Structure 1
């Protein structure tokens, strides 16, 4: 390990300052500024304009990616609400929800009250090449399951919210009918 008295600041034109402890990095190890107080390598994070650890920079990037997926899910669901309302059977409801703060948004499909205590969640695309997903939650039987295409080991993916709605309605109708046989 080599130790130089002054870090190379040509990258950012400023002295690396540890974001955690506020100490100027006075040492370079393995071509990276080193905070001798925290005992951490520092890397410049251009999105925040400061020097931080590799782990903190990665955490920031992951967090930003998650927030982008949450925002995108809210936009997808808002667009889908209008598209599916005209396709719902009588007395059925579609509600945009974010069930847990920090989770993606869903479009919840609720059958008529009193028919069954079940709900279908339409989950919008996440940007990873998938489409709309459907989960059915039968609270009476304590079952929660995704829809699958025949012969597949992966959850079914639908190209539009309308296609996902049709599959969700069919699955909920099966749950309603099967409730009479238990």
Structure 2
């Protein structure tokens, strides 16, 4: 017989496995609010997680600026999102006394980020894109593209087709190990 916990379904709510490190954790806002497990983290939002987002364990969010993740996106273990940045000039940077600035990070809907991915400030990852494990994303990723490497480079375009009801599905049977 299953425990009560085994029967809990978090349909439509983002799931974030612990541990998770958020630089300004009080800035977290979940787009899908109302579930009692998430309710206490819905105020003062900088970060936005869409419906059915899954964030695996050990993620790090340096959320100087907003980090948004679109619906149905999967984020592998040990991923890091760095929206904060510092001046390159060491005299201006001045150790911890210098200015900190940032650029927002946007991850579209239906994306998949493999384990150990790093996303740098100002990056937008387009809808339906896949980022291979261990990649460092320094530039925008167009929608429906697969990228990998350090720095991440386009590997190929992901072909999609309609299922006849307006829903896009992946064409073909091929897979990518990430």
Larger Rg: 1
Scaled by the length of structure 2, the TM-score of the pair is 0.25
Greater percentage in helix:
1
Greater percentage in strand:
2
